[in-house]
Amino acid sequence: MEEKKEETKKGKEGRLLIGMAVAVLVVILCLMLDVRIGVGALVGIVAGSFLRPLLKDLFTDEPQEEPEENRFLDTAVLRENFSIPQNLPIPYAVLDIRGRVMMYNAPFAAVFPNSEDAKPVIEVLRKTSGAGEPQRVTVGDRSYKAALNHCDVVDKSGAVGAVLTLIMVDITKTCQLEKELEEQETVVGMILLDNYDDVLDSIDENRLPILSALIDRKFNQLAQAADAVIKKLEKDRYIFLLSKGSLERLKEKKFEPFNEIKEISVGEHIPVTLSMGIGIGGGSLEDAMANAKAAMDLALGRGGDQVLIKDGEKYLFFGGKSGEIHRNARIRARVKADALMELMGDASDILVMGHKNADLDSLGACIGICAMAKSIGKKCNIVMDKVSVGVKRLCDKMDESGKFGGVIVDGVDAMRMINDKTLLVIVDTHRESMVDSRQVLMAAKKIVVFDHHRKSTDFIEQAVLIYHEPYASSTSELITEMIQHMDKKVKLHQIEADALLAGITVDTKNFCVKTGAMTFESAAFLRRNGADSIRVRLLFQNDMDAYKAKATAVRDAELFRDHIAISVCPSDVENSTLTAAQAADDLMNVTGIQASFVCCKVEDTVYISARSFGEINVQRVMEKLGGGGHLTVSGAQLQDCTVEEAKEKVRAAIEEYLEEEA
């Protein structure tokens, strides 16, 4: 009887060994056909098959003990009880429960001549590999799919323990094929000569065909060099197709070859500049085209003369060092004004809202919108949760006049007033995260946006009307343009005219920065309608404490990279944010300074004012901190951090920007 049992057991064992041998061959074939199928099959059977005692135990009726992780930690004991399948063509190893390599085959030794070298891979797998789930790892210049399995085992004496098994499959060729396929993905790009009309106005009419031909030839040469296909759609618009690999090579060169367009000359004329929007991904050419269009819109919204790449939800920026292109906006202003008046006429009531921590440009633009609404007999309220120190003097003037009682409401009152026919006008910002009351923004059904800041990626998308002109000095200038070019005459009150002029003055730094012909025309219009520069100047007066704080910020400024000033403005003054902005302006008067960054803390928020002359794009720097603005004037707000932490973040953002520009 005992002999029969022994024969039966040996028969089972023999069949089992044969079955496992066949299984190993099947796994190898699966690996040759499909790495994922092979790794899955291998993880399922090899982890147990190398331990004959365990497999024998599985086919017996004898009860097993509970696993004890402290057993089988000795290499000699493992080798005495178990064996490694040395003929497996893939790296394979047995580890103790702590992750130390105990036994391995020849392919594993080829990958890791010293078993200690496998520690980083093992640590990664122990953290990320669940239930033997394969993970992609890199060893040297090779890529592997690796899996780590936990196995309960029984030795010859019947003692129970646990080990880990590590299996690796070389997928380097597969990764190379994936990379090649990715590099062959088609990318769609759009090109716009964004100052083409201005170039035509500056050149002799007889030279126009020559200029156009030279531009076309240069684009064809650049496309051929980049292994791309380009097609002219209109006199100033092109579309091109290229592979993702070719795009990566252009990115490495920072798109410098396309700057050769600016060097084209057929006489005395202004240089040609271009904007480029490139779309990647989405799964189809249609999606890539949509991404390219979105990138182009954003490039133009940021002032043009730059390259933007949209890859899914991520944007990459190149260039953008030129100032915004000034255009004759009279027709646009009239069209936008007519559209706004039509929307106002259909609305039951009107709310106008600026950005958080309102400045004089934000409030001035709000007051201008109220004047437009009043001209057609519509009620308009300004939504402002908190009257900032920067606009307190103007708000006091409004209260003293007795003509603006109840005009300013907070977000709670605005939510009570809002309904399906309410028109919400957003001024001096186009970003959802920057509006004074996000709750009011979300509740509004009809939204209009007026802004002059360079476009950011988190812009308000649900607006029914947008007037976004980065060439303008201020939003107050945009509103003034609309008022003076409207068909219906708007009679401005003295305080309304002062508020709009103050908005222009604060953003142009007394008509020194971003000042164009339309800026002076708007100022002249406001002067004719009762604005007074002396009254406006009084709105900017500082007390002695604020003046001393500004002097302290300038005195204590630190030089970073030899030409960038970083400082802190004392926060124990009444209007520290305005004082910090003035200190940043004053630092730009120091010889050799190319950019300045001044921080100040108000409650739990650190405000950063950034200035430059254009050599350094402070908008790009501030965007890395969640802010934005213009090429030469920008800012950001950091929540829940100290001033020293904010300075470190500013330095890191500058370093990152300079590395991108290098």
What CATH number labels 544-661?
3.10.310.30
Nearest partner of 324 among 496, 203, 222, 451, judged by Cα: 451
Which stretches does DSSP call E strand in 193-282?
229-234, 237-243, 275-280
Tell me the pLDDT band of 15, cut-offs 50, 70 and 90: very low
Distance CA 54, CA 163 (A): 12
pLDDT tens digits, 495-535: 999 999 999 999 888 898 888 888 999 999 999 999 999 99
Q: What would the mean pLDDT of 287-295 be, rounded to a whole number? A: 90
The class that CATH gives domain 184-319 is: alpha beta
Looking at every residue in the chain, the average pLDDT score rounds to 83
Quote the distance between the C-alpha of residue 305 and its chain's center. 19
Distance CA 487, CA 468 (A): 21
Structural domain boundaries in the chain: 2-178, 184-319, 337-454+470-538, 544-661
Nearest partner of 272 among 305, 297, 237, judged by Cα: 305
- What confidence score (pLDDT) does residue 35 get? 52
pLDDT above 50 for 50: no
**Phi, psi dihedrals of residue 162, rounded to the nearest 5°:** -145, 145
Structure tokens at 338: 């007519």
pLDDT tens digits, 551-560: 999 999 999 9
pTM above 0.75, yes or no: no
Q: Maximum CA pair distance of the chain?
A: 120
- What confidence score (pLDDT) does residue 265 get? 75
Residue ranges at the known binding site: 355, 359, 361, 428, 452, 507
Q: What would the mean pLDDT of 423-442 be, rounded to a whole number? A: 93
The terminus-to-terminus CA distance of the chain in angstroms comes to 85
Residue ranges at the known binding site for Mn(2+): 355, 359, 361, 428, 452, 507
DSSP, collapsed to helix, strand or coil, labels residue 609 as: strand
Element (H, E) at 63: none
Q: Residue 187 burial (CB < 10 Å; 0-12/13-18/19+)?
A: buried
Q: Residue 145 burial (CB < 10 Å; 0-12/13-18/19+)?
A: buried
Asked if 20 and 45 touch (Cβ cutoff 8 Å), the reply is: yes
Q: Is the dihedral of CA 203, 206, 207, 213 positive or negative?
A: positive
Q: What's the Cα-to-Cα distance from 475 to each of 111, 235, 451, rounded to whole Å? A: 64, 32, 5
The CATH number of 337-454+470-538 is which of 3.30.56.10, 3.40.605.10, 3.30.750.24, 3.90.1640.10? 3.90.1640.10
What is 2-178's CATH topology?
Beta-Lactamase (3.30.450)
